[in-house]
Amino acid sequence: MKYISLLGATGSIGTNVLAVVRKYPQHYTVVGMSAGRNVQLFAEQVLEFQPEIVSIFDDSLVATLAGLLPHSYRNRIVTGVEGNKLVAAHAKADMTVSAIVGAAGLLPTLAAIEAGKDIGLANKETLVMAGKFVMDRVKRKGVRLFPIDSEHSAIFQALEAGNRGDLKKIILTASGGPFRGNSPDQLRGVTREQALAHPNWNMGRKVSIDSATLMNKGLEVIEAKWLFDVEHQAIEVVVHPQSIVHSLVEFVDGSVIAQMGIPDMMIPISYALSYPRRLGLDLHPLQLSECANLEFVEPDYASFPALKLAFEAVSSGGVAPAVLNAANEIAVEAFLNSEIQFPDIAGTVARTMDIVQEGNEDNLEDILQADKNARREALSLIA
Q: Say how far apart CA 277 and CA 342 lie, in whole Å.
A: 42
List the beta bridge partners of residue 95: 4, 118
List the beta bridge partners of residue 54: 33, 77
Length of the chain: 383
Residue range 2-123, CATH number: 3.40.50.720
Q: What residue spans define the domains of the chain?
A: 2-123, 152-382
- pLDDT score recorded for residue 74: 86
Q: Which long-range contacts (CB under 8 A, 24 or more apart) does 292-295 make?
A: 293/242, 294/240, 294/242, 294/244, 294/245, 295/239, 295/240, 295/241, 295/242
* Closest CA relative to residue 191, chosen from 335, 332, 328: 335
pTM: 0.93
Residue range 152-382, CATH number: 1.10.1740.10
Q: Measured in Å, how far apart are the chain's first and last C-alpha atoms?
A: 52
Digit-by-digit pLDDT tens for the chain (383 residues) are 999 999 999 999 999 999 999 999 999 999 999 999 999 999 999 999 999 999 999 999 999 999 999 999 989 999 999 999 999 999 999 999 999 988 899 999 999 999 999 999 999 999 999 999 999 999 999 999 999 999 999 999 999 999 999 999 999 999 988 899 899 999 998 998 998 987 766 677 898 999 999 999 999 999 999 999 999 999 999 999 999 999 999 999 999 999 999 999 999 999 999 999 999 998 989 998 888 789 999 999 999 999 999 999 999 999 999 999 999 999 999 999 999 999 999 999 999 999 999 889 999 999 999 999 999 999 999 99
Q: Say how far apart CA 206 and CA 325 lie, in whole Å.
A: 12
- pLDDT score recorded for residue 200: 67
Burial of 232 (0-12, 13-18, 19+ CB in 10 A): middle
Within a 10 A sphere around the Cβ of 376, how many other Cβ atoms? 15
Q: Say how far apart CA 286 and CA 195 lie, in whole Å.
A: 27
Q: What is the largest CA-CA distance in the chain?
A: 62
User: By the 8 A CB rule, do 188 and 341 touch?
Assistant: yes
CB within 8 Å of 214: residues ≥ 6 apart: 174, 176, 177, 299, 304, 306, 307
Q: How many CA atoms lie within 13 A of 241 on its CB side?
A: 9
| Peptide bond before residue 343 is cis, with ω within 30 degrees of 0 | no
* Closest CA relative to residue 309, chosen from 380, 206, 217: 217
